[in-house]
Amino acid sequence: MAGRGRSRPNLLVTGTPGTGKTTTCSLLADATELRHINVGDLVRTKGLHDGWDEEFECHVINEDLVCDELEDIMVGGGIIVDYHGCDFFPECWFDLVVVLQTDNSILHDRLTSRGYMGPKLTSNIECEIFEVLLEEAEESYPEGIVMALQSDTVEDISRNVTVLTEWERMWLAEDYRSKWWLIELAYTLDCFVLVNTMQISMLEMEGSKCNMGGATRDARRASRSANGMIAYDSLPTLTVDLSQSDCEKW
């Protein structure tokens, strides 16, 4: 059990640059009082890098230095790690790994507005097209803790924060932590289903893509065409106020 010994869960939120990681993490931190750590900012302020990559216009991250910096912080729990990579962190650090995904045309516009061009733009768009980060997360972490969430719009990000806030609430429930009930998040045609052995809840997702853990891409796509309905209790709605400037930060 990843979270054994922690009083609060640790989450990793990853995804291609421009998918809304920092906005999502900031709002989730406000909603849950979890601590948000932006690894890119940490690398810059602490000098946890091996110099500057001229082609991709970014620091060359020193993964060992980053892990050393975070190691003691992660032990106590209650941390949201925000970074566009995920395979170098210790598996035991996280109770949930969230991969944000964005439609390619939307992502292209966001990245060009940030000044991305040439190889830097092309490599990030290709990374999203081929679901590189989702595959990386599924290969690096246990089946059942990797969740993919669509992040195209303000409404998407609001729903995602609601889903993650509810997940954190369930993790904190004493019966959930002590019995470690299986949690599965399954996508159907128009709903997000949060299932454990004692309850079934459903959050309307209005066609947003959503999946958790273990399935192949073909299986995920097949599950998205399903249209089964399940009895449910509505999850609480979290109202998130997003300004246009917030969206531009994605």
Q: Which residues are annotated as a binding site for ATP?
A: 18, 20-23, 114
Question: From the annotation, which residues make up the binding site?
Answer: 18, 20-23, 114
Whether 17 and 84 have beta carbons less than 8 Å apart is answered as yes
Q: Which residue has the tokens 């020193």?
A: 62
Other C-beta atoms within 10 Å of 98: how many? 29
Residue 55 and residue 119 in contact, taking contact as beta carbons nearer than 8 Å: yes
Listing DSSP states for 87-123 in one string gives TTS-GGG-SEEEEEE--HHHHHHHHHHTT--HHHHHH
Which stretches within 173-210 are classed as H helix?
174-179
Give the phi and the psi of residue 47 in degrees, each rounded to 5: 65, 40
Using CA atoms, how far residue 77 sits from 37, 89, 142, 192, 212, in Å, is 12, 15, 18, 26, 22
